[in-house]
């Protein structure tokens, strides 16, 4: 087992824990809804309200945003390493994407939801946002500035890049996407207009004979 595999195993186990901790972990995304009551209704309404606000920051399109700004078209950051799912949960792989970002860079919510976790995992600061459809986005190493339970819109500031990661050659944001305990490619959250590296161009129509 490589260091990276071991790190992500620890991270996944921490995020799956349902009980809140002093570090700021919250309940599982479905736990509040299962209990019902006025509290869950209020939380659901807050997330719904956040989802209606389109992102206005650079790198945003509707209710989706790049989590860090970059020099590419429409604020696209440089992808240093793509998603490479492991063949088995314990095997080596890359459970997310690495985006180039300078020290202290502002990290934003990629999609609307609520802050599910904000704290440290193995000494690395991590922020997790639960989305209304049951997915969770993860951001590390990020020092969060919002409390657990806070509703966020796409493009809202979650915190700042803080520290480094062993598998990155330089400062980077590791951005992940979880469905339960299964990692998915976070780039699938973004529309094609944001993922394209160059602006769209209209081609001339062919001459009619």
Question: Using CA atoms, how far apart are residues 194 and 186, in angstroms rounded to an integer?
Answer: 13
Q: E strands of 149-209, at which residues?
A: 151-152, 157-161, 172-179, 182-184
Kindly report the average pLDDT of the chain as a whole number.
74
3-state secondary structure of 127: strand
Q: Which residue ranges form the domains of the chain, and what is each CATH number?
A: 3-15+26-195 (2.70.70.10)
pLDDT one-digit tens code per residue, 182-198: 899 999 999 998 887 65
Burial 6-16 (b: 16+ CB within 10 A, else e): ebbeebbebbe
List the structure tokens of 145: 């500035």
- So what's the pLDDT on residue 138? 96
Q: CA-to-CA distance for 77 and 107, rounded, in angstroms?
A: 12
Minimum mean pLDDT among 9-18, 89-98, 131-140: which range? Answer: 9-18
Higher pLDDT, 74 or 4: 74
pLDDT for 92: 62
pLDDT band at 88 (very low <50, low <70, confident <90, very high): low
CA–CA gap between residue 175 and residue 101 (Å, rounded): 12
Mind listing the pLDDT tens digit for each residue in 27-75?
A: 333 333 333 333 433 344 344 334 434 445 678 998 999 999 988 877 8
Dump pLDDT digits (tens) for 127-151. 999 999 899 999 999 999 999 999 9
Within the chain, residue ranges assigned H as helices are: 3-16, 31-35, 38-51, 192-195
Q: What is the DSSP letter of 88?
A: S
For the four alpha carbons of 28, 30, 35 and 37, in that order, the dihedral sign comes to: positive
Q: How confident is the model at residue 204 (pLDDT cuts 50, 70, 90)?
A: low
Work out the percent of the chain whose per-residue pLDDT is above 70.
63
pLDDT, tens digit (0-9, with 9 covering 90-100), for 149-177? 999 999 999 999 998 787 787 889 999 99
């Amino acid at each position: 087992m490589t260091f990276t595999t071991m790190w992500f195993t620890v991270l996944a186990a921490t995020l799956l824990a349902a009980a809140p901790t002093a570090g700021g972990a919250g309940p599982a995304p479905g736990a509040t809804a299962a209990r019902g009551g006025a509290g869950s209704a209020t939380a659901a309404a807050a997330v719904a309200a956040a989802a209606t606000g389109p992102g206005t920051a650079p790198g945003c399109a509707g209710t989706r945003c790049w989590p860090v700004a970059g020099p590419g078209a429409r604020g696209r950051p440089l992808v240093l390493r793509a998603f490479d799912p492991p063949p088995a949960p314990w095997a080596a792989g890359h459970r997310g994407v690495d985006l180039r970002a300078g020290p202290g860079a502002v990290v934003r919510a990629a999609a609307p939801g609520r802050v599910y976790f904000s704290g440290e995992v193995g000494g690395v600061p991590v922020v997790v946002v639960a989305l209304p459809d049951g997915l969770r986005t993860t951001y590390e190493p990020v020092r969060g500035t919002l409390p657990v339970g806070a509703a966020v819109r796409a493009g809202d500031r979650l915190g700042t890049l803080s520290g480094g990661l062993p598998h990155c050659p330089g400062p980077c944001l590791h951005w992940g996407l979880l469905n339960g305990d299964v990692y998915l490619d976070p780039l699938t959250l973004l529309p094609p207009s944001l993922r394209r590296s160059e602006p769209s161009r209209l081609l001339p129509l062919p001459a009619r004979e």
